[in-house]
Structure 1
Amino acid sequence: MTRQISKANYKPIGIVLGLAAGTLSGMVFQRIWAMSMRSAAPHPIDEDRGWGEVLLAAALQGAIVAMIRASIDRAGATGVRKFTGHWPHD
């Protein structure tokens, strides 16, 4: 009998990793923005910030979130494979 991990069994691990990814990506984005722009990141409804700055911040934040989320998800799946010998799948 093989010890395969289904998506349903992996889901709790994925949720915890997703929360960690969200927290980490928010911190990384804030630090990168502060280092490069010398100010806090703009909020979309901040009246004193222009469209370009708001959209640049959104694009950068989206890229950082996607990269960190994919990295953490991949590391989680790799960890499951090392622990069980099988990649989590359907």
Structure 2
Amino acid sequence: MSKVVSRGVSAASGMLGGAIAGAIFKQVWKLASGKDDAPQANSDEYGWGEVLFAAAIQGAIFGVVKAAIDRSAARSIHRATGK
């Protein structure tokens, strides 16, 4: 039963983490670039540097948020189930 609960919590926390990371990235990008939207990789109006810089920031934020939420969920499940 705890595997089922763990998978459900993992799926829900993944969706929540994606939403949180997206919101954080949007704010960080506004501060870093002064623009509302990050460059799209297939857009001709941005150069390689700006596209890759945005992708690096986004990846770092998503990685940190995912690790924090996964760790928090794992600790909560452990406390609740003892496993």
TM-score (norm 1): 0.84
The alignment status of 1:28 with 2:31, answered yes or no, reads no
From 9, 12, 18, give the equivalent of 1:16: 12
Moved over 3 A (4+): none
Count of aligned pairs between the two proteins: 82
Q: Which runs of 5+ in 1 are unaligned?
A: none
Structure-2 residue corresponding to 1:52: 49
Larger radius of gyration: 1
Shift of 1:85: 1.9
SS in 2 for 1:42: coil
User: Which runs of no fewer than 5 residues in structure 2 stay unpaired?
Assistant: none
Tell me what 1:80 maps to: 77
Q: Map Cα deviations across residues 31-60 of structure 1 (whole Å, 9 max, x no partner).
A: 001011101211111111100000010111
1:5, distance to aligned residue in structure 2 (A) = 3.3
Q: Which has the larger helix fraction? A: 2
Q: Cα RMSD over matched residues?
A: 1.4
Q: Percent identity?
A: 33
Using CA pairs under 8 Å that are at least 6 residues apart, name the structure with larger relative contact order, 1 or 2.
1
